Amino acid sequence: MRKQLLAAAITASLVLAAPAKADDELNFDAYREMLADGNPAELYEMEGEELWRTARGPKNATLEQCDLGLGPGVVEGAAAQLPRYFEDTGKVQDLESRLVTCMETLQGIPSAEIVTGRFLQGERGKVAALVAYVVTHSKGKPIAVDVSHPKVKEMYELGEKAFFYRTGAMDFSCASCHGEDGKRIRATHLPNITKAEGAAAGWGSWPAYRVSNSQFWTMQHRLWDCFRQQRTAEPVFGSDVTIALSVFMAGKGSGGEAVWPGVKR
């Protein structure tokens, strides 16, 4: 509760200090710089680090032996190389689905409890905090997702198809908002994810703290909400389509800088 109250107080100060319109147009760069100063995501990062080192679950174990792709317990640079294929699961996994695997195998926390849960609540809320902790150790590093592995390449191609697939009552696709330069919604610029620079900007700035609702959103949460806004069926947490879209964005944006965790309007 203390974390939420402190984050809300910081959010309120940012909103009250939002720049006024100048020449009938918001100063977007100044606004983003202001938001990034004192990112409340740091509170989630601290919670995540504690969760990483605390023995929990039926097996009363920590996550310090969790293998995120660079060896047991290695978090430095790990997020910048995810999603990737993991031999032990036989799957391409993003950071969140991999953390769920570690929580189940190391701590005995049932994955179903997380998959069927709700964002920001229970064990899924703890996954978000863990994400905040892990991605901080890739801040400023280049996105380096290798799509040469056959399974990763397969997911990349599926993600590209999903990106352009139109669905829902509004007949929208991801590309409807993120397929052209210069688009924005209110004070939010929408990156063109069909280009490497835009893909890096989109992928490399989520997870992020959202000032408008005082919440920390992971990429799984962001993708779920994109589907919701398309007025179509929301994806299952950690499902193939969410992993595929992540591989597409990360692969397209490889080489760009990761600025995790981001801060959004």
208-210 and 262-264 beta bridge pairing: parallel
> Among this protein's residues, is 177 annotated catalytic?
no
CB 243 within 8 A of CB 83: yes
Residues 6+ apart with CB under 8 A from 115: 100, 236, 237, 238
Burial of 241-257, coded b for 16+ CB within 10 Å and e otherwise, reads bbbbbbbbbbbbbbebb
Helix or strand run (H / E) with residue 177: helix 174-178
Helix or strand run (H / E) with residue 33: helix 28-36
CB 195 within 8 A of CB 255: no
Among 14, 1, 44, 9, which Cα is nearest to 217's? 44
Give catalytic residues, as residue numbers.
226
